[in-house]
Amino acid sequence: MSAFAGAQERLNAIPSLDLWAPPSPVHELPRLRDALGGGPRLLIKRDDAIPFGFGGNKVRKVAIVAAHAIAEGADTLLSVGGVQSNSARVVAAVAARMGLHCVLVANGAPPERLAANALLDSLLGAEVHYVPSRDDRAPAMARIAADLRRQGRRPFEIPLGASTSLGALGFVRAVGEIVNQAIIPDVIVHSTSSGGTQAGLVAGCAIYDLPTRVLGISADDPAASIRGTVEAVISGMSAWLDVDGDALAAARPIEIDDTYVGGGYGIMSPASREAADLLARREAIFVDHTYTAKALAGLLGHLRRGSFSPTQTVLFWHTGGQVGLFA
């Protein structure tokens, strides 16, 4: 029995919006495995196929954070991200579905032609404010929230990627979801950036007492910086799950490989381009340039180097983002 077993019950009691019917599918990748000349059993978890608002990992996080916002009486959801943020698009979609106003703060120039996530944000009715740099986003969101409060509105601020301890519980739940699907992989490989997905997966493996290794492939930041965030997000789960947060954060290794970032955030590398082509041509599954192609390049790199044994089951957690292909 898990040292954190009581947490499962508390987790189940945390409200979440009913936006879609889990589970997302899990299936084999037989033609990709053949292309690699065999090796471990390869599975994929299809969060790209979550049907709400073009799906992706953010739906799991925002469903919980927005349920909390609504319980607090919010009438407006605010969030931040790049112009092509998947997370911001999901916040806009949730706001539309729940009848709330949405304000997004995006770093970058207003696009001349709306495409991909920026187009969806507009279709969803979100009000988008543009700021010059990443560092300007959080202060701008705080300013807009203060203005709205002065007007008698009830804004709720959702930080970057909805990667709060509450949001990350969406991925603790997702571990329970694969347990119910009777899938206990030896290794999970996924894209990591703002840390919420990894925090949820790592904490989930401890809470559900799985022997699974979780390997995050960085989309941008150095491993040490993401690791610090993941630890902090897991520790903060104590407020929601009534567990020793530091013990939960220390229960499993937080493994991050930052060697697949290439030229930087959102810039394709030869390895990520090859990975994206291979998955599309072998399995008709699409990965995005910024996150999932780099994670897949990491998976292929580790498989080719023989990092995993042929008797193991390796699950690639597809975190979505395919809208970005149309930017």
Ligand X SMILES: Cc1ncc(COP(=O)(O)O)c(C=O)c1O
Residue 258 beta carbon to ligand X: minimum distance, rounded to whole angstroms = 13
Instruction: Measure the CA–CA gap between 326 and 118, rounded to whole angstroms.
Output: 10
> Interface with ligand X by CB under 6 A: which residues?
56-57, 86-87, 161, 163, 191-198, 288, 291-292, 319-321
CA separation for the pair 203, 61 (Å, rounded): 14
Instruction: Output the smallest distance, CB 290 to ligand X, in A.
Output: 7
| Sheet with strand 76-82: strands edge to edge | 127-131, 101-107, 76-82, 155-158
CB of 241 to ligand X, least distance (A): 18
Choice between 240 and 291, CB closer to ligand X: 291
CB of 202 to ligand X, least distance (A): 12
Whichever of 76 and 84 has its CB closer to ligand X, that residue is 84
Sorted by sequence, the CB contacts under 8 Å of residue 91 that are 6+ apart come out as 58, 62, 66, 77, 79, 102, 104, 126, 158, 162
**Nearer to ligand X among residue 86 and residue 272 (C-beta):** 86
Structure tokens at 67: 């349920």
User: What distance in Å separates the CA atoms of residue 28 and residue 36, rounded to the nearest whole number?
Assistant: 14
Q: Between 260 and 291, whose beta carbon lies closer to ligand X?
A: 291
Residue type, 98: M
Residue-by-residue DSSP string for 190-221 = EEESSSHHHHHHHHHHHHTT---EEEEEESSS
Going by their DSSP bridges, the two strands 127-131 and 101-107 should be labelled as parallel
Residue (236 or 321) nearer to ligand X, CB: 321
Tokens of 231: 């630890």
Minimum CB distance to ligand X, residue 9 (Å): 25
Closer residue to ligand X (CB): 74 or 323: 323
**Residue from 211, 219, 221, 222 nearest 296 by CA:** 219
Whether the CB-CB separation of 90 and 66 falls below 8 Å is answered with no
Give the separation between CA 93 and CA 8, rounded to whole angstroms.
28
CB of 148 to ligand X, least distance (A): 26
By beta-carbon proximity to ligand X, the closer residue of 148 and 188 is 188
State the residue for tokens 């790209």.
48
Q: Which of 79, 85, 87, 235 is catalytic?
A: 85
The identity of residue 323, as a single letter, is V
Which of 243, 182, 244 lies closest to 210 in space, CA to CA?
A: 182
- Name the minimum Å distance from CB 289 to ligand X: 10
The reply to whether 85 belongs to the active site is yes
> What is the number of the residue whose Cβ is closest to ligand X?
321
Torsion of CA 93, 25, 235, 253, to 10 degrees: -140
Q: Which residue numbers are catalytic?
A: 85
